[in-house]
Amino acid sequence: MLRPPTLFGHEAAGRIIAVGAGVAGWSVGDRVVANNSAPCFNCFFCRRQEYSLCANLTFNNGTFAQYLKVPAAIVQHNLLPIPEDLPNAIAALTEPLACVLHGVARSSLQPGQRVVVLGDGAIGLMFVGVLAQQGAKVLYLAAMSPACRWANNWGQRKPLTTASSDVPAVVRELTEGMGADIVIEATGIPAVWSWRSPVPVQEQR
């Protein structure tokens, strides 16, 4: 989507210090979250309401800087007010949390289902929290980073290592041979996608 050299950082929360020409509904001093992109609403995909596939996405890069000039399309469509009691550091996670909530909704999760989360980054940790809150039996598979201790408070049952090729076997052992009902892949590591169940399957010809 973006090629170097380019600004980096796309998740941020802060306070408006200046308002551009034609901007309505926002004032200097407002605390806001400027989300990472905005669709054009005119291309083939946007007309089908598949906005994440927009051919002309406007990006909001550069949030590692102290000041950020937010593109007009994002101001118009994807700028959100921050409640007074919500710290900026938490508000900045609005976009990744929205992705997690969308993923859980798409998973058709049912209470009591066994869910495996692969990956212990911000997205993986948020999946653990949301899934546990919604009644899943979470088996959280992590890279054994210090972040794993947070997952213990959110419903994690057993931390494992995503570096092990035996993860599918361990999952079956922990689930009485049944395996997981849902698997969330949050590592971004292609090798993880090739993991297979250790249970032998008779080929049908």
Q: Where are the domains of the chain?
A: 13-91, 96-193
The predicted structure's pLDDT at residue 149: 58
Return the closest-CA partner of residue 61 out of 13, 95, 10, 1. Answer: 10
> At 169, which helix (H) or strand (E)?
helix 167-174
Q: Is the pLDDT reported for residue 198 higher than 50?
A: no
Fold of the 13-91 domain = Quinone Oxidoreductase; Chain A, domain 1 (3.90.180)
* Position 122 confidence tier, pLDDT thresholds 50, 70, 90: confident
Q: At what angle do helices 94-106 and 122-133 cross, to 10 degrees?
A: 50
Residue-wise pLDDT for 125-165, tens only, equals: 899 889 988 888 877 766 556 555 555 555 555 555 555 55
Q: Is the pLDDT reported for residue 29 higher than 60?
A: yes
* Position 107 confidence tier, pLDDT thresholds 50, 70, 90: very high
Q: CB of 44 within 8 A of CB of 50?
A: no
Measured CA to CA in angstroms, residue 16 lies from 24, 35, 48, 154 at distances of: 13, 14, 33, 34
> At 58, which helix (H) or strand (E)?
strand 58-59
Question: What is the C-alpha separation between 123 and 115, in angstroms, rounded?
Answer: 15
Q: Which CATH superfamily is domain 96-193 in?
A: NAD(P)-binding Rossmann-like Domain (3.40.50.720)
